[in-house]
Amino acid sequence: MIPLVDRARLFASHGVKVSIITTPYNAILFESSIDHATELGHEIFVHKLKFPSAEVGIPEGIENFSAATSKEMAIDVFMGILLLQKPMESLIFELRPHCIVSDMFFPWTVDLAELLKIPRLAFYPTNVMYQCVDHCLKLYTPHEKVSSDSESFLIPGLPDQIEMKRSQLPENIKTKSEGPYWELMKRIKESEPRSYAMIHNTIYDLEPSYAELYQEIKGKKPWLIGPLFHFSKREEANNSRNTQDQERHSCLSWLDSQDPNSVVYICFGSMGRFSDAQLTEIALALEASNSSFLWVVR
35: left (phi over 0), alpha (psi -120 to 50) or beta: alpha
- Per the DSSP assignment, residues forming a β-bridge with 120 are 100
Which pTM was predicted?
A: 0.78
Q: How do 163-165 and 152-154 pair as beta strands?
A: antiparallel
The whole-angstrom separation of Cα 4 and Cα 197 is 15
Spacing of C-alpha 83 from chain mean position: 21
Q: Are the CB atoms for 165 and 153 separated by under 8 Å?
A: yes
Q: pLDDT tens track of the chain, all 298 residues? A: 888 899 999 999 999 999 999 999 999 999 988 998 899 899 999 999 999 999 999 999 999 988 888 888 988 998 999 999 999 999 999 999 999 999 998 999 999 999 999 999 999 988 999 999 999 999 999 999 999 999 999 999 999 999 999 999 887 787 776 777 788 888 999 999 999 999 998 999 999 999 999 999 999 889 998 777 666 666 666 655 555 555 567 778 888 999 999 999 999 887 777 888 999 999 999 999 999 999 988 7
Q: Are the CB atoms for 271 and 65 separated by under 8 Å?
A: yes
